[in-house]
Amino acid sequence: MIAEFNKPYSGAEPSNGINPLLKWAGGKRRVLPRILRYVPSEFGTYFEPFLGGGSVFFGLGLQNKRSVISDINQDLINFYETVRDAPLELLQIVSGFETSDESYYSIRAQDRDPKFHEHVSNSQRAARFLYLNKMGFNGLHRVNKQGHFNVPVGRRATPHAPLFNLVSETELLRMSDYLRLPETGTDSPGVRLGAGHWSDFLKDVQEGDFVYLDPPYDPISKTSSFVSYSDEGFGENDQRALRDICIELAVKKKAFVLLSNSATDLVKQIFVHETRGVFHIAEQFSVQRSVSAQADKRVLATEVLIWNYSNSLS
């Protein structure tokens, strides 16, 4: 497959997209210029089934493209749907929250009520999601086996702290406009947003489409595993299932596929060596991970970009 690419990585920030609203552990804001280096200059529909904080989707500036974006996290997708459909209502609700530790843990505990989702509106649910994201530790979104959010409060929150702006109205309305791009047909610019299993949103990929995959990473050690973005987890079998669909997308559907992951032996084995030349390493680089509460314990981790459509830039 032949494709032209964007300019080589220069370290400069992209200028044609918008900033994500959410903090997100493992988000791609820091390495976005590096990822944009490998985006085809011309492609059909954009697919991203592990949306998370959306740094790549929002950073691409896809006003003239059709996009299919999704995530298994229903609260996350409800948040984006609310930003799209009712941004001012969302802003009004979240501005009424207090920023004390006590308030955080009280709001966090709301999902322990089995009927919680029956008692709140989509906008209230989205406001809670935004509040916990901004107030919680380092942008983590972690749930236990019961689906209960269990991230501790971040160091930013102090007892009896005054209210602060969790998000600016300007940023919120800009993202709302971006998400409300009309979808009037299969070839028309617009955004399809959905919640569900990642594989369900890749069934409509066609030749020439661009698929960016940022799954929960393969852990670099037994003690560093963090895949609890949903109560289902994401283990080695999931990585292999993703690899199999990547091959189908690349070989049968002839799509452009770009994957981010940890540069572990397992990832290189299943996504590169076992694909027998279908996929190659585009780039391997180090990035600082900030999950640890202590700055001196935050280490550089090695990540890898894997693609199927070229091993050189034009």
Residue 298 near residue 292, CB atoms below 8 Å = yes
Does residue 220 register a pLDDT over 90? Answer: no
Q: For the residues 180-203, what does the mean pLDDT come to? A: 83
Asked if residue 261 and residue 207 are part of one domain, the reply reads yes
In a domain, 180, yes or no: no
Q: For the residues 248-262, what does the mean pLDDT come to? A: 97
CATH code for the domain of 37? 3.40.50.150
In a domain, 190, yes or no: no
Query: Is the pTM for the entire model greater than 0.75?
Result: yes
Give the whole-number percent of the chain exceeding pLDDT 70.
80
Task: Please tell me the distance from the alpha carbon of residue 126 to that of residue 150, in angstroms, as a whole number.
Answer: 17
Phi, psi of 68 (to 5 degrees): -120, 105
Does residue 79 register a pLDDT over 60? Answer: yes
In a domain, 36, yes or no: yes
Asked if residue 124 and residue 15 are part of one domain, the reply reads no
- Which residue, 169, 184, 215, sits at the end of a domain? 169
Asked if residue 217 and residue 283 are part of one domain, the reply reads yes
Paired tokens of 16: 């044609």
Strands across the sheet with 256-262, in order? 190-195, 66-71, 46-48, 210-213, 256-262, 300-307, 280-288
Does residue 228 register a pLDDT over 70? Answer: no
Asked if residue 200 and residue 67 are part of one domain, the reply reads yes
DSSP 200-218: GGGTT--TT-EEEE-PSPP
In a domain, 184, yes or no: no
Q: How confident is the model at residue 184 (pLDDT cuts 50, 70, 90)?
A: low
In a domain, 31, yes or no: yes
In a domain, 236, yes or no: no
Asked if residue 295 and residue 209 are part of one domain, the reply reads yes
Asked if residue 215 and residue 252 are part of one domain, the reply reads yes
Residue 258, strand partner residues: 212, 307
Question: Which of 6-10, 83-87, 280-284 shows the lowest per-residue confidence on average (mean pLDDT)?
Answer: 6-10
CATH code for the domain of 113? 1.10.1020.10
Radius of gyration of the chain (CA): 19
Paired tokens of 225: 């595993």
Indicate the average pLDDT of the chain. 85
**17 CB-side CA count, 13 A:** 19
In a domain, 35, yes or no: yes
Asked if residue 8 and residue 102 are part of one domain, the reply reads no
In a domain, 52, yes or no: yes
Asked if residue 222 and residue 157 are part of one domain, the reply reads no
Asked if residue 306 and residue 210 are part of one domain, the reply reads yes
Asked if residue 278 and residue 216 are part of one domain, the reply reads yes
Question: Which of 39-43, 111-115, 280-284 shows the lowest per-residue confidence on average (mean pLDDT)?
Answer: 111-115
Q: What is the DSSP letter of 122?
A: H
Give the closest residue to 212 by CA, choosing from 284, 260, 251. Answer: 260
How many domains is the chain partitioned into structurally? Answer: 2
Give the closest residue to 26 by CA, choosing from 230, 177, 180, 227. Answer: 227
- Which residue, 133, 150, 169, sits at the end of a domain? 169
Give the closest residue to 163 by CA, choosing from 92, 110, 109, 80. Answer: 92
Asked if residue 312 and residue 201 are part of one domain, the reply reads yes
Question: Which of 43-57, 186-200, 270-284 shows the lowest per-residue confidence on average (mean pLDDT)?
Answer: 186-200
Domain range holding 201? 1-72+196-227+244-314
**Helices (DSSP H) in the chain: which residue ranges?**
32-36, 55-60, 74-85, 87-94, 101-108, 116-119, 122-135, 169-179, 236-247, 265-271
Task: Please tell me the distance from the alpha carbon of residue 25 to that of residue 29, in angstroms, as a whole number.
Answer: 10
Element (H, E) at 68: strand 66-71
Distances (CA, A) of 48 to 16, 58, 158, 198, 257: 18, 11, 37, 9, 10
Q: How confident is the model at residue 139 (pLDDT cuts 50, 70, 90)?
A: confident
Asked if residue 145 and residue 293 are part of one domain, the reply reads no
Residue 74 near residue 195, CB atoms below 8 Å = yes
- Which residue, 169, 184, 217, sits at the end of a domain? 169
Question: Which of 180-189, 254-263, 276-285 shows the lowest per-residue confidence on average (mean pLDDT)?
Answer: 180-189
